[in-house]
Structure 1
Amino acid sequence: MSDKKTTGIWKVISASSMGTMIEWYDFYIFGSLATLLSTKFFPPDNPTAAFLSTLATFAAGFVVRPFGALFFGRLGDLIGRKYTFMVTLLLMGGATFLIGCVPSYETIGFFAPLLVLVLRLLQGLALGGEYGGAATYVAEHSPTDRRGFFTSWIQTTATLGLFISLIVIYITRHSLSKEDFVDWGWRIPFWVSILMILISYVIRKNMHESPVFTKVKEEGKVSTNPLKESFGNKLNFKFVLLALFGATMGQGVVWYTGQFYAMSFIEKTMSIDKDIADNIMLVSLALGTPFFVLFGWLSDKMSRKWIMM
């Protein structure tokens, strides 16, 4: 791989990763503040029910992610990866900013959890399109013998997004009095995301369409009905199910149990101070993140299947 091509791929990875990391930050800020949000957007008379309702609202974003992947994947095939990136970025940033603006349950009653649920669904749709699109975009710029290594950088963005969300919350909480943070300061991490989104938008505006997509489009080989080809063809449908249940579902369960359930368990069940709980998560994330790149690199040397196994 020439120096010019290497420089080009790192620019692609940087631009893609930054935007995806910010979208994960937006998505995870809700989970990182779940304990506090349960007291803001849900009836206060039953704290346990309020907390479970907050987790259910958080989970709603995951339910719609596959639909976001399908919708924005189709949009990416029609108008290109770059412009789809812009749409998902702005949708995610707008939804996150507005969550920080929703009045509390005490102010508007049941409209509070309803509005938050709608915004969480929009976040899920945006992330479903963003994450798959970013991985595809980087893969289409990568040489086949180093595709695992280069796309592995996209996989680190989820961890970095959670990492940054915890840091922003930590800084905000320690910059205000405890009363101010609980009263209104918790909104600041949601509002901060709009600045990150604008920076990422400016960077991504200068990105070029992927060479693979450009070539396919010029040759007129862009799929006219990708959903039918994916789900209507028996062989293709088998690979869809294999990817969903064999490759990603188990990984998803391990990831979210290890991060968010662990965070909830440390705070709620073990009653450990929030600062200590966040420090535990920050250290574990810092130690674990480099292994995404290591195993991505190994997958180029060995086989994807055996790494996943």
Structure 2
Amino acid sequence: MSATAAAAAPGHEPSAKEIRLVIAASSVGTVFEWYDFFIYGTLAALIGKAFFPADNETLQLLLVWAGFAVGFGFRPLGAILFGYLGDRLGRKYTFLVTVTLMGVATAGVGLVPGAVSIGLAAPAIVILLRILQGLALGGEYGGAAVYVAEHAPPEKRGFYTSFIQSSVVGGFVLSIIVVIGCRAFIPADAFEAWGWRVPFLLSLILLAVSLWMRLKLSESPVFKAMKQAGEMVKNPFVESMTYPGNPKRLFVALFGITGVLTTIWYTAFFSGMSFLRGPMRMDEATVEIVMLVSGAISMGFYLLVGKWSDRVGRKRPIIIGAIATLVLLFPIFWGMGSLANPGLAASARAAPVIVSGSGCEYDAFASKQATECGRVLADLTSLGVSYSVGDPEGAPHVSVGGEPLAIDPADDAGRKASLQSALEAKGYDFAKQKPPLASLAGIVGLLCALGLLSALTYGSVAALLAEMFPPQIRYSSMSIPYHIGAGYLGGFLPLIAGYIVATTGNPYSGLWYTWAVVAFGLLVAWWGIPPGPPRDFEASEHDLPVSPANP
């Protein structure tokens, strides 16, 4: 490879105005794409009723998260496809395609009739649209991150690219703002019936704004210099797999960088939201406001970490964030539980629930449990009550604090209601919670702590990944491991964590998935992320075979 025309494209130094436009257009597009993707998770409960109706409430929610995971599962394929196009045809036009595909697919979800109207075709169409969203998202992040990184001066690359990471949170925040706004103007019954579709349809307006801004951009100077010098590769995907040293870099990017950042991110925002809405029984509108405030505050953390990484290097913030997560993850959620629903937490400690009897197993994916004891566990799970399983023999029965409850496990019609009444008599509170202002402030503070942990492991990542890989295959090389990690390790987190909680009866048990992924990722990051100050990819160490720009 020549001194790499791409290494800097010194012929043209972007002006301050051009840099601002690059950051603004890339960030707005990223906000829009992630808004489209996250609106599905923000409205998970209503989407479950519309497209995945089931008698088992837990199964209904798990099916929604399965649909959420399907979109993530196709992100790696989108990374391969659009990474190829981005490295062959250019950064700008590739992420114009991805943003358009995302907008059309998102609006489509808002137009699909419910399962009551068209049966199984409804969830099938929604899953197809989620697949299109996943493909689009697979090309978006790499395109935006590479585009900004290749415009930024090296000494400010971490700060400039941190706007992309902050924009991911911005998409989540925007999805909540839109939902809160729709709830304010649409009556509650109407919102549940049809109003939840409005946030999906609004994506067409956001698409128009994003396209208008991105069409004003020029191609990356790095890509233009490579094309003029004839330093394009024939197959970016193959070269990404075979370029000297790249297998190690791909492994580190997958497990040591993306695996850490994505599980912390989804735990902070999606698990936090599900935890407060579900087991802690907080009022939905209150949860949305809490998530909005904490998310908006957290956006600033990503910019601070990105700027800090320009001085201390990319590795230190990630290592600090991963270690802090392993230490603080469970205490933060314990604290939120105590503040959100102190009565439930106190009752669980003072009067633990023990379920005994033969066939006492819970299948979260069954529409109806096979045994009477299993149906009792399903009721407790839907009530958000922690339980433990005792003697596996005999007739099913439930004890609270050592005293048996007078319920009939065989009474499918009234068992859950009688179980709830009996637990309430023992001090359990199942009313929707609206914690006092001081408690809400504490919850926001703890969510911001999770946001800071996410920022430490995510704020400098776009710059780090751009610096890890050679320019000719940069789009593909950073997109593929990023979207495999984010698509599978992160995208399946709500489903896996929800399943663990459902099968154990412990609302905190799903956190072990995050803890395990971060612990392994910490070891990989310590071993594989380059130490020291930030630096460009050292292209002179290896020579990448290139083909003419127009073979």
Give the TM-score of the pair, scaled to structure 2. Answer: 0.55
**Partner amino acid for 1:52?**
L
Q: Write out the 4+ residue segments of structure 1 that deviate beyond 6 Å after TM superposition.
A: none
List aligned pairs for 1:234-245, cutoff 5 A.
Answer: 235-245=245-255
List aligned pairs for 1:59-70, cutoff 5 A.
Answer: 59-70=69-80
Give the Cα separation in 1 of the matches to 2:312 and 2:77.
33
**Partner amino acid for 1:272?**
M
Aligned-pair CA distance for 1:242: 0.7
List aligned pairs for 1:9-48, cutoff 5 A.
Answer: 9-48=19-58
CA contact (8 A) 2:145 2:161 kept: yes
List aligned pairs for 1:135-214, cutoff 5 A.
Answer: 135-214=145-224
Residue among 261, 264, 269 paired with 1:254: 264
Give the Cα separation in 2 of the matches to 1:137 and 1:124.
20
Residue among 303, 307, 319 paired with 1:297: 307
**Partner amino acid for 1:38?**
G
Give the Cα separation in 1 of the matches to 2:149 and 2:94.
16
Residue-by-residue CA offset, 1:146-202 (whole Å, 9 max, x unaligned): 111100011111111010100100010110111110110000000000011011111
**Partner amino acid for 2:84?**
R
Unaligned 5+ runs, structure 2: 1-12, 320-551
Residue in 2 that maps onto 1:102: 112
Give the Cα separation in 1 of the matches to 2:70 and 2:262.
15
Aligned-pair CA distance for 1:47: 2.0
Give the TM-score of the pair, scaled to structure 1. Answer: 0.97
Residue among 228, 235, 239 paired with 1:218: 228
- What value does the CA root-mean-square deviation take over the aligned residues? 1.3
Identity %: 47
Aligned-pair CA distance for 1:111: 1.0
Determine which structure has more spread, i.e. the larger CA radius of gyration.
2
Bigger share in helix: 1
Residue-by-residue CA offset, 1:123-158 (whole Å, 9 max, x unaligned): 111011011110000001011111111000111111
**Partner amino acid for 1:93?**
G
Aligned partner of residue 52 in structure 1, secondary structure: helix
Give the Cα separation in 2 of the matches to 1:71 and 1:157.
23
Aligned partner of residue 269 in structure 1, secondary structure: coil
Query: Is 2:134 the counterpart of 1:124?
Result: yes
CA contact (8 A) 2:83 2:236 kept: no
Residue among 65, 69, 87 paired with 1:77: 87
Residue among 86, 91, 116 paired with 2:101: 91
Give the Cα separation in 1 of the matches to 2:257 and 2:14.
34
Give the Cα separation in 1 of the matches to 2:136 and 2:66.
18
Residue in 1 that maps onto 2:496: none
Aligned partner of residue 289 in structure 1, secondary structure: helix
Aligned-pair CA distance for 1:43: 2.6
Name the count of aligned residue pairs: 307
Residue-by-residue CA offset, 1:249-301 (whole Å, 9 max, x unaligned): 11100100111111111111111111110111112112211110111011111
**Partner amino acid for 2:213?**
I
Residue among 109, 121, 136 paired with 1:111: 121
Give the Cα separation in 1 of the matches to 2:243 and 2:150.
24
Give the Cα separation in 2 of the matches to 1:207 and 1:24.
21
CA contact (8 A) 1:140 1:212 kept: yes
CA contact (8 A) 1:38 1:47 kept: no
Query: Is 2:300 the counterpart of 1:263?
Result: no
Structure 1 range deviating more: 44-53 or 213-222? 44-53
Unaligned 5+ runs, structure 1: none
